[in-house]
């Protein structure tokens, strides 16, 4: 699923700008979705336990924008996404590649507000 920002951004009292992405229920557990937010391609994941994660969609090894198509799972207790092309596992909480800690995906704050998933790229 690819999503393009579908509404105006809102700004919290902290100065963080939140971009609406989609309804929470639109995200399938353990499946990724890609969204274009402020010129950034973001991969958004909902895990079986209902948590949300947002990381950069560009695979640092292949250069392709495919992280949202990766395989979601865990390594120990760590939620991960395995890049679809070369299968490197990236932590969904830190963005760090578990097999190569020198490589990481950018991570983005994500939240649900009134049933809508929102991401901040600021």
Mean pLDDT along residues 98-121: 97
CATH 2.102.10.10 fits 2-119, yes or no: yes
Tokens 């932590």 found at: 91
Q: How confident is the model at residue 16 (pLDDT cuts 50, 70, 90)?
A: confident
Q: Are the CB atoms for 13 and 103 separated by under 8 Å?
A: no
User: What Rg value do the Cα atoms of the chain yield, rounded?
Assistant: 14
**What are the sequence ranges of the domains in the chain?**
2-119
Chain segment 32-60, per-residue pLDDT in tens: 999 999 999 999 999 999 999 999 999 99
- 14-18, 21-25, 107-111: the lowest-pLDDT one: 14-18
Are 78 and 68 in contact by the 8 Å Cβ rule? The answer is no
Residues 35/5, Cβ–Cβ less than 8 Å: yes
Please give the average per-residue pLDDT across 13-21, as a whole number.
Answer: 80
Q: What is the pLDDT of residue 4?
A: 44
**Tens digit of pLDDT for each residue in 68-94?**
999 999 999 999 999 999 999 999 999
Mean pLDDT for 83-110 is 97
Cα–Cα nearest to 30, from 81, 67, 90? 81
d(C-alpha 74, C-alpha 122), whole Å: 28
């Amino acid at each position: 699923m690819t999503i393009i920002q579908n509404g105006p951004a809102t700004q919290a009292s902290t100065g963080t700008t939140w971009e609406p992405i989609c309804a929470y229920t639109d995200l399938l557990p353990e499946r990724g979705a890609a969204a274009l937010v402020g010129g950034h391609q973001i991969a958004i994941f909902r895990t079986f336990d209902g948590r949300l994660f947002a990381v950069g969609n560009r695979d640092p090894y292949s250069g392709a924008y495919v992280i949202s198509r990766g395989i979601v799972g865990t390594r120990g207790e760590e939620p991960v996404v395995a890049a679809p092309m070369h299968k490197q596992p990236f932590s969904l909480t830190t963005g760090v590649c578990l097999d190569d800690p020198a490589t990481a995906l950018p991570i983005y704050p994500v939240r649900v507000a009134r049933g809508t998933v929102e991401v901040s790229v600021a």
